[in-house]
């Protein structure tokens, strides 16, 4: 059942000889969406409590809206990944149908399901212990100070760093599975496949490091 994790070369060689199917890849994305939505609800509720001084009931609204966005996110990411991979395949003179690339990337994202499970566990451990001071002032400078204090909470920092670097590891795993799939199904060499799947991951990691650096003033 999990041959795409344990023996990806054999698995994708088999895939190359049959019609692509999106049933299991879509299920993988659905699982990731559900788990992300739960974590998103908890983070949204925490952020809502920070903003609760402005409007009564905003915590619930923020929690629900964040949960909905977190649920939709993996589906949008899947589509973006497929489009980017299609472009990379075309640039490198490979050949693969859109549906096949969607199948490969869907299977490749399974490590992110594992990451979503771990992220949920981290949310359950860290978020309830983060104290929030509701913003009740209108002065932009004071608001910025309160938001900075919230982000610099030691538990929030630890949660963010662990979650981010865990995601980096799982993204590398995802890129490796995807590269094998492209090699077997898209007429690309090993090097070309690694470039196609690796460049988007490297760019995302660099962007995430930049975001963390600006948020916590590393530079």
Could you say which residues of the chain have pLDDT below 70?
Answer: 1, 53-55, 136-147, 215-219
Domain boundaries, the chain: 9-215
In angstroms, the CA 138 to CA 122 distance is 33
Q: Is the dihedral of CA 167, 169, 173, 179 positive or negative?
A: positive
The reported pLDDT for the residue numbered 154 is 81
> pTM of the full predicted structure?
0.87
158-to-39, 124, 127, 142, 196 alpha-carbon distances in Å: 16, 14, 11, 24, 32
What letter would DSSP give residue 128?
Answer: G
The reported pLDDT for the residue numbered 103 is 96
The reported pLDDT for the residue numbered 139 is 59
Other Cβ atoms closer than 10 A to 106: 25
The reported pLDDT for the residue numbered 176 is 95
Residue 57: left if φ>0, alpha if ψ -120 to 50, beta else—which one? Answer: left
Rounded to the nearest 10°, the torsion over CA 172, 178, 184, 186 is -130
């Amino acid at each position: 059942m999990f041959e795409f994790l344990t023996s990806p070369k054999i698995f994708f060689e088999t895939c190359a000889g049959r019609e692509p199917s999106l049933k299991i890849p879509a299920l993988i994305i659905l699982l990731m969406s559900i788990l992300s939505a739960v974590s998103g609800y908890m983070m949204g509720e925490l952020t809502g409590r920070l903003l609760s001084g402005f409007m009564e009931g905003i915590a619930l609204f923020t929690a629900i809206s964040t949960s909905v966005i977190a649920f939709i996110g993996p589906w949008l990411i899947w589509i973006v990944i497929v489009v980017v991979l299609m472009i990379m395949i075309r640039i490198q003179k490979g050949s693969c149908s859109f549906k096949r690339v969607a199948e490969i990337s869907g299977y490749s994202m399974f490590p992110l399901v594992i990451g979503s499970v771990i992220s949920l566990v981290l949310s359950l451990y860290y978020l309830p212990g983060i104290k929030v001071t509701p913003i009740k002032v209108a002065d932009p400078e004071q608001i910025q100070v309160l938001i900075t204090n919230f982000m610099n909470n030691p538990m929030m920092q630890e949660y963010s760093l662990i979650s981010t670097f865990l995601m980096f590891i799982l993204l590398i795993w995802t890129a490796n599975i995807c590269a094998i799939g492209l090699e077997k199904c898209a007429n690309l060499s090993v090097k070309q496949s690694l470039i196609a799947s690796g460049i988007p991951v490297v760019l995302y990691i660099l962007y995430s490091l930049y975001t963390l650096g600006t948020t916590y003033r590393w530079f």
